[in-house]
Chains A and B, each alone.
Chain A
Amino acid sequence: MKQILWSISKKEFRHIFRDVQTLMIVLAYPVVMLFLFGYAITMEMKEIETVLVDRSHTPESRDFKEGLLATSFFKIVKTDIPQNQFETIFQERQARCIIVIPADFARSLHTQPRTKIQLLVDASDPNAANYIQNYITQISAKYNYRINPELAMPFSIEPRLFYNPDLKSYYFFVPGLIAVIILLISALLTSIAIVREKEVGTLEQILVSPVHPVQIIIGKAIPYTVIGFVDSVLVLIMGHFLFEVPVHGSLVLLAFSLLLYILTGLSFGLLVSTITNSQQEAMMATLMATILPTIMLSGFIFPIKSMPAVFQYMAMLIPATHFLEIIRGILLKGSTAQDLVVQLIYLGGIALTLILVSIRKFRMTLE
């Protein structure tokens, strides 16, 4: 039993190490993805191209303008353009927002109960538009408070952000990325490894041997578990040292959940390999069934709680949903096994179901 497991794993390791191209992809892909998500694709915004139209030209309006320019959020590209050019500015995408300080700004400020400043935003990117609006609301609140300290608000919210006080998006992305990459690699490699033997015809030889299918499956799964683990440790180390993602919880618990999650990916790959007959089919099926749901439905990017009920139930069936809660909990909050017991059970349950189904479906004949 031991000999045959080792023999199958050894053979699989040889396949992996001799296919240098695939090996490079497997090792480089997570690194590239991490760089992409970490540096290029951030949700944080700065240097928003802005047109500032100051029709007031008073000390008050200059004061307000200084408040705007105190951070690098706004970058003034043009000033004081006539009203009829506003639309052109947006259409030519010279700026994303236009701030208009009215001519009676200073006077109104001293005599009227309410003074208005106009903000025009290009909302073709609604997220950005929202962000800009919030930002300028904050700035004007600060300004109001400075010039009118006695006009106290009845109450104010004093936020304190736990676990990620600076709202760094890679705290969010690095765990999510691990979830996507591991699932993809473990599922993809496993399904391709088995389907390739089907395609080449070597499975026919293995099937007529006295080896039990469970031995074949486990023997094949060992190398890919190792690779998936190496990949995730790689991403974690990079996340920790390059992006300063903290590790507050137990490393043992982290390693255990990683293994459990890799196992889910492997068993999914296995299932795919039992129902597909060519490497292309297996690749398409795995990509479709892992990347899309993992990115869209697992809470990687979009919060699950705000999805329609149907999708919330679907999310419960996606391994990444539970793994994300586990890994974010361990890394950012220092959660313990007791805190995560529900998620761990979910993940283990999904893995077990997938393994049982695929072992049942793994046919020992060619029919």
Chain B
Amino acid sequence: MVKKSMKQPTIEIKHLVKTYGMVTAVRDVSFTVGEGEIFGLIGPDGAGKTSIIRILVSLLHADSGEALVQGKSVDGAIAYVRAHVGYMPQRFSLYPDLTVEENIDFFGDLFAVPASLQKTRKEKLYDFSKLGPFKKRRAGALSGGMKQKLALSCMLMHEPKVVVLDEPTFGVDPVSREEFWNILKQLSANGTSILVTTAYMDEARLCDRVGLIFEGSLLAVDTPEHLVNTFPTPIYRLSGSAPHVLYEALAQTPLKNRISLFGDGVHILDTQGEGPEALRRQISDIDAPWDALEPIAAGMEDLFLSLMKE
């Protein structure tokens, strides 16, 4: 499952720092993405994901540190980076009044893809994205998922070996998200290096490696399996019909710094290793109904929330 990282990583981020006035958006972030690897940068809104991505694609300048693509510094080789990296911004960035085909053609021209190549690549991308039947439709009339696939197709017209996507599945329905990730998997199988950001924790397991980022700092970098399996703290789930009521009640107890609200109940971190009986005693007098307290395996979100609290 885990691909060996190559001698020369495709993307290298080295001690990146970025400030906007008084606000520090990126604090000394370093990581690498290997050839054919899908690297997920995972964190909530405002964590600094977009700033890192924009520095990498030469749209912003870092205060210090550097970003390298295929061994070339972004600052020193802007032209090279722009010609060899495929970038998909956070917002839908296509022309809504142009058709699917016109959008793809335009980006083909923009990246100086020869006309003869454009035809075959376009057919390939239609196949890939299943957008073929909609090629005469205006981009503005597409569904959210199709828009994202179109944006991806446009960006793949010049067949970049390095692909950078900023929250590509944001606001997209689950079925389309699944499809979108399948396309990314195919790309990576063909040797394309992919850096993708997301705020959806469940997408972490789809990446080869993930970096968890919060308030500009990288908290952990590893494969998703390893991160979750080596989570040191036992976790218990306190379930009930109204988890938010439970959460409010627990917030009044000494456990208040160790609880997180989930859809299926409140997750409690057993940081002291007290065991279920000790926990049960501590919650016995809370003023809210609950059904069960049971140990569960840590998920990516548990990991993230516990790292955030540290």
Binding site for B on A (CB under 8 A): 3-4, 7-8, 11, 14-15, 18-19, 200-202, 204-211, 364-367
Contact = CB atoms under 8 A, between A and B. Distances in A.
A4 B87 contact: no
Given A11-B98, A14-B102, A201-B92, A365 B112 contact: no
Nearest to B115: A3
A19 B155 CA distance: 26
Nearest to A365: B59
A210 B83 contact: yes
B109 A14 contact: no
B97 A19 contact: yes
Interface in B104-122: 105-107, 109-112, 115
16 contacts: A7-B105, A7-B109, A11-B95, A11-B98, A11-B106, A15-B97, A15-B98, A18-B97, A200-B91, A204-B93, A205-B87, A205-B155, A208-B58, A208-B82, A210-B111, A365-B58
Q: Helix, strand, loop or mixed for chain A's interface?
A: helix
Contact of A204 (B89, B95, B102): B89
A201 B110 CA distance: 16
B59 A209 contact: no
Contacts of A365: 58-61
Given A366-B54, A366-B60, A205 B109 contact: no
Nearest to A363: B59
B112 A207 contact: no
B79 interface: yes
Contact of A209 (B95, B98, B105, B111): B111
Nearest to A5: B109
A209 B97 contact: no
Interface residues of B, number: 33
B94 interface: yes
Interface in B11-34: none
Contact of A208 (B57, B91, B95, B102): B57
Contact of B85 (A14, A208, A366): A208
Contacts of A367: 60-61
B89 A205 contact: yes
Contacts of B59: 204, 207-208, 365-366
Contacts of A207: 59
B89 A201 contact: yes
Nearest to A367: B60
Contacts of B78: 364
B224 to A, nearest CB: 29
Given A11-B98, A366-B54, A201 B79 contact: no
A51 to B, nearest CB: 62
A16 to B, nearest CB: 10
Nearest to B55: A365
Contacts of B94: 202, 205
Nearest to B80: A210
A202 B95 contact: yes
A142 B177 CA distance: 91
A206 B106 CA distance: 10
A355 to B, nearest CB: 23
B61 A211 contact: no
* CB-CB nearest 3 A-B residue pairs: A7-B109, A201-B91, A201-B93
Given A207-B59, A365-B58, A365-B61, A14 B98 contact: yes
B54 A14 contact: no
Contacts of A210: 79, 82-83, 111-112
Nearest to B109: A7
A90 B35 CA distance: 90
A19 B97 CA distance: 8
B58 to A, nearest CB: 7
A7 B106 contact: yes
A211 B110 contact: yes
A7 B61 CA distance: 29
A204 B78 CA distance: 15
A202 B97 contact: no
Given A208-B58, A209-B111, A366-B60, 10 more contacts: A7-B106, A201-B90, A201-B91, A204-B59, A205-B154, A206-B110, A208-B82, A210-B79, A210-B83, A365-B61
Interface string B58-90: 111100000000000000001100110101011
Contacts of B54: 366
A204 B87 CA distance: 9
